[in-house]
Amino acid sequence: MSVTLNAHQFGRLLERTAGHIADEFIPALHGVRLEADDTFLYAIASDRYTLAVARYRHHGLDGEPFARTLPARALASLRRWAADQPGNTPVTVSLAENRLRFTAPQGEVGVDDGQEFFGWRGVLRGVIDQVPAEDGTTSPFPALDTRLLARWTDADHYLRLRVTADRQGALLVGEDFIGAQMPVRTRHDGFGTGLADDLDQVRTLWDGALAGAPAAAMPDSLPAARRTPHDAARTVPETAKGLLRQTLSSTHDLIEESSTSPTAVAAHASAGVTAWMAFRYL
């Protein structure tokens, strides 16, 4: 039971979902779920208020589909291990003796899997299939916690957003990514009491500031921001900075691992040398 993908895409799966992990007080959600079927490797994380799912089309499933939870305690070291591999390095994710194993040509990591996970597919199906209220008296106007909105930063540069009702989850969709955010359902201790409940209240509250201004779109003369793919640096200095950081990080790890694992030493040395060569090339 194994799948193979490159190190860059494996790291991206973890990066896009790690921010949605629940804290240690919810053990069943304190980690990232990895699931593999015949086509994709999925990474899933949730803190009950947000749910994020990223996927990548792998290079083939060897054996039966599998699903295991990667505990949060192992996530930092695994992300560092993936970052130390050259981006095109094949990484095999396998399940053996109830342990998740991550294997690359220059090293291997084994992790005991964590808690059982909830039925995330059904939750997202419910968010996708939900429809607005049929009475047509109100427009969808849910209150969203902005502290949770920040968790979508690593998902993609652009996400599509769909809302259907005040008390239904908002749907967020990107490239090979889907997620949901639950609305704020209650107000307590004065929190949120100043929030407008509907668009008519918004118009009333802001009428003085906006009165007399005709409705208009954003001016076409404003320049659009240049966006590059998430796996490409924006500038040469930014790339150089990242390569130097990788060189220092790998050198530190090389010293730390020098007395424990020859395989890890070789992996850190190779990653550091590769980063330094690329920096010198620039």
Last residue of a domain, one of 151, 185, 219: 185
Q: Residue 144: exposed, middle, or buried by beta-carbon count in 10 A (0-12, 13-18, 19+)?
A: middle
Verify that 161 and 31 share a domain, yes or no.
Answer: yes
Verify that 250 and 157 share a domain, yes or no.
Answer: no
Per-residue pLDDT of the chain (282 residues; tens, 9 = 90+): 788 999 999 999 999 999 999 998 888 899 999 999 988 999 999 998 999 999 998 888 888 888 999 999 989 999 999 998 888 888 888 888 778 888 888 888 888 876 788 899 999 999 999 887 665 556 788 888 888 999 999 999 899 999 988 888 999 999 999 999 999 876 665 566 677 777 788 888 888 888 888 888 767 766 655 555 445 555 777 788 888 888 888 887 777 666 566 777 777 788 888 888 888 887
Verify that 10 and 122 share a domain, yes or no.
Answer: yes
Residue 81: give the domain boundaries.
Answer: 1-185
- Residues 203 and 205: their CA atoms lie apart, in Å, by 6
The model's pTM is 0.71
Verify that 145 and 246 share a domain, yes or no.
Answer: no
Q: Kindly state whether residue 247 falls inside one of the protein's structural domains.
A: yes
Total residue length of the chain: 282
Q: Kindly state whether residue 158 falls inside one of the protein's structural domains.
A: yes
CATH number at residue 146: 3.10.150.10
Q: Kindly state whether residue 175 falls inside one of the protein's structural domains.
A: yes
Selection from 209, 188, 137 nearest residue 166 by Cα? 137
Q: How many domains does the chain have?
A: 2
Q: Kindly state whether residue 229 falls inside one of the protein's structural domains.
A: no
